[in-house]
């Protein structure tokens, strides 16, 4: 993989140099290097790759129009983190050495923080592809930006929905192995309890754990039976959990968040009927997102798998807007421009960073699996007062 990528970049670089030489334009196009430390292999690859595909599409389109802010041609350098936190820091350093002025990091808080430790002292704006833990930006500092709806926002949206449905008692299944799996269900629990529900039990799992039977037996043995199980487990743990839960004869509904909005989970068919999850947006007929999905399918040769693609695409748009506002390729100016973005018209809706801890304010789409399909329930922007603190 690294070889072929290297070749590709090499080719792209040659083409760029050649292109400049050929056009010999009066205003010589300037180049800005964006470093993408993302997982091409390992557990995060299923999330990073779609998001990166969306970002690449945006950058290709922008480059065709002259680059970021119409001025700076993007040279995107992609390196594989192998879904490993330490490796993420290593490749982030390589990208910084290569001259990256903007850094893109994986879809998870922990590797994003490790990359952020390196970019923060240099003031290089750093955006996670779809890492959604709200502690992520605070853990690094003012250069770190989330792009996806934050975990506490997603959890609030799902909790509001569960309360509105009349759910009263929830069981929270968490894993201490990742910030996402550890905290999201707890945010849910906070909102749920504040709005009159109760948390009747908690359980944990180890990511990659083969067997959930003991935990499931604990759930079955609860004196106070829950009417909902909330978890942020994703693949391959989520399929394992729900398979074993249903196999043990437990029919309690299971709700999750954005990480289970994937073709793998959809492929589980009737097993996941009724599972509610979140997405960054929903392609209503005539919406910008529907148009994007069509354009992406043409660009990539396949339809988007999830809303990670459009989220990645929006990162490109955000960067373009920020460079336009900054009027330069100075990392600090770009950072300030992103931090002050307000009501920016994205594809899925309005995106605001101004006044936040650099986790964007944006709408959340609630979805439900029904008969092997993803059905849209509603799109909401939770009340900021309801969203629990990170």
Partner 1 sequence: MVAQQIINAVSLGGVYALLALGLAIVFSIVGLINFAHGELMTVSGYALLASLFLGFPFPAAVLVAVACGALAAVAMERVAFRPMRGASITSLLLTSFAVSSLLKVVFQNGVSARPQAIAMPSWMTGAFSLGDFTIGVGPTISIVVSVLALIALEVFLRRSVTGTAMRAAAEDFDVVRLLGIPASRIIATAFLLSGLLAGLAAMLWVAQRASVDPLMGFTPVLKAFIAAVVGGLGSLPGAVAGGFLLGVIEVFLQATLPAAAAPYRDAIVLSGVIAVLLVRPQGLIPAVRVQRS
Q: Quick one: which of 33, 36, 37, 49 contacts partner 1 (CB under 8 A)?
A: 49
In angstroms, give the least distance from the CB of 180 to partner 1: 16
Check residue 387 and report its DSSP letter. S
Q: To the nearest whole angstrom, how small is the minimum distance from the Cβ of residue 39 to partner 1?
A: 8
Min separation Cβ 237 and partner 1, Å: 9
Say whether residue 249 binds partner 1 (CB under 8 A): yes
Contact 182, 207 (CB under 8 A): no
Q: Does 60 bind partner 1 (CB under 8 A)?
A: no
Helices (H) and strands (E) in the chain, counts: 13, 14
225 belongs to the binding site for partner 1 (CB under 8 A): no
Q: How many residues does the chain have?
A: 390
**What is the secondary structure of 222-241 as a DSSP string?**
-SS--SEEEE---TTHHHHH
85 scored as a contact of partner 1 (CB under 8 A):
no
Q: Are 244 and 151 in contact (CB under 8 A)?
A: no
The answer to whether residue 198 forms part of the interface with partner 1 (CB under 8 A) is: no
Closest contact distance (angstroms) between CB of 206 and partner 1 is 6
Select from 153-161, 212-220, 360-368, 375-383 the region that touches partner 1 (CB under 8 A). Answer: 212-220
From 2, 99, 208, 274, residue interacting with partner 1 (rule: CB under 8 A): 208
Q: Which one of 27, 28, 64, 214 is in contact with partner 1 (CB under 8 A)?
A: 214
Residue 19 touches partner 1, criterion: CB under 8 A = no
What is the Cα–Cα distance from 285 to 272, expressed in whole angstroms?
Answer: 26
Q: Residues 271-290: x/- map of binding to partner 1 (CB under 8 A)?
A: x-------------------
Q: Do residues 68 and 320 touch, judged by C-beta distance below 8 A?
A: yes
On the CB side of 147, how many CA atoms lie within 13 Å of its CA?
Answer: 34
Q: What is the closest distance, in whole angstroms, from the C-beta atom of residue 187 to partner 1 in the complex?
A: 17
Which CB sits closer to partner 1, 234 or 282? 234
Q: What is the CA radius of gyration of the chain?
A: 21
Distant-in-sequence, close-in-space partners of 217: CB < 8 Å, separation ≥ 6: 248
Interface residue with partner 1, options 181, 262, 348, 374 (CB under 8 A): 262
Query: How far is the C-alpha of 359 from the C-alpha of 146, rounded, in Å?
Result: 5
Q: Which of 215, 258, 314, 321 binds partner 1 (CB under 8 A)?
A: 215
User: Binding of partner 1 at residue 253 (CB under 8 A)?
Assistant: no
- The DSSP code sequence of 14-74 is HHHHHHHHHH--SSPPEEEEEEEEE-SSSTTHHHHHHHHHHHHHHHHHHHHTTSBTTTEEE
Q: Least distance to partner 1 from the beta carbon of 302, Å?
A: 12
The footprint of partner 1 (CB under 8 A) covers 1, 39-43, 45-46, 49, 176, 202-204, 206, 208-211, 213-215, 217-218, 220-221, 235-236, 239-240, 242-244, 246-249, 262-271
């Amino acid at each position: 993989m690294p070889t072929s990528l290297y070749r590709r970049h090499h080719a792209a670089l040659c083409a760029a140099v050649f292109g400049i030489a050929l056009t010999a334009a009066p205003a010589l196009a300037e180049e800005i290097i964006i470093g993408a430390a993302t997982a091409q292999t390992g557990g995060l690859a299923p999330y990073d790759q779609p998001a990166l595909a969306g970002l690449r599409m945006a950058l290709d389109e922008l480059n065709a129009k002259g680059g970021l802010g119409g001025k700076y041609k993007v040279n995107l350098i992609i390196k594989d983190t192998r879904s490993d936190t330490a490796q993420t820091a290593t490749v982030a350093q390589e990208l910084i050495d290569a001259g990256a002025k903007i850094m893109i990091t994986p879809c998870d808080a922990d590797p994003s923080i490790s990359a952020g430790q390196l970019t923060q002292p240099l003031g290089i704006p750093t955006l996670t592809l779809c890492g959604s833990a709200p502690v992520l930006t605070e853990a690094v500092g003012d250069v770190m930006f989330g792009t996806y709806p934050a975990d506490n926002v997603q959890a609030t949206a799902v909790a509001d929905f569960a309360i509105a449905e009349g759910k009263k008692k929830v069981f929270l299944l968490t894993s201490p192995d990742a910030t996402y799996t550890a905290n999201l269900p707890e945010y849910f629990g906070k909102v749920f309890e504040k709005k009159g529900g109760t948390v009747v039990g908690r359980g944990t799992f180890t990511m990659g754990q083969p067997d959930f039977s003991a935990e499931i037996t604990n759930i079955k043995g609860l004196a106070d039976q829950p009417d909902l199980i909330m978890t942020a487990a994703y693949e391959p743990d989520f399929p394992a959990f729900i398979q074993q839960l249903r196999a043990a004869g437990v029919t309690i509904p299971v709700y999750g968040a954005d990480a289970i909005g994937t073709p793998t989970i959809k492929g589980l068919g009737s097993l996941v009927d009724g599972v509610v999850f979140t997405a960054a947006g929903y392609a209503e007929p005539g919406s910008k997102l529907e148009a994007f999905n069509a354009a992406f399918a043409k660009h990539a040769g396949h339809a988007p798998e999830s809303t990670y693609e459009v989220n990645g695409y929006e990162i490109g748009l955000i960067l373009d807007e920020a460079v336009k506002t900054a009027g330069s390729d100075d990392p600090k100016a770009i950072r300030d421009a992103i931090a002050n973005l307000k009501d920016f018209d994205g594809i899925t809706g309005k995106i605001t960073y101004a006044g936040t801890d650099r986790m964007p304010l944006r709408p959340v789409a609630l979805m439900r699996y029904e008969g092997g399909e993803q059905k849209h329930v509603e799109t909401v922007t939770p009340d900021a007062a309801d969203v629990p603190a990170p």
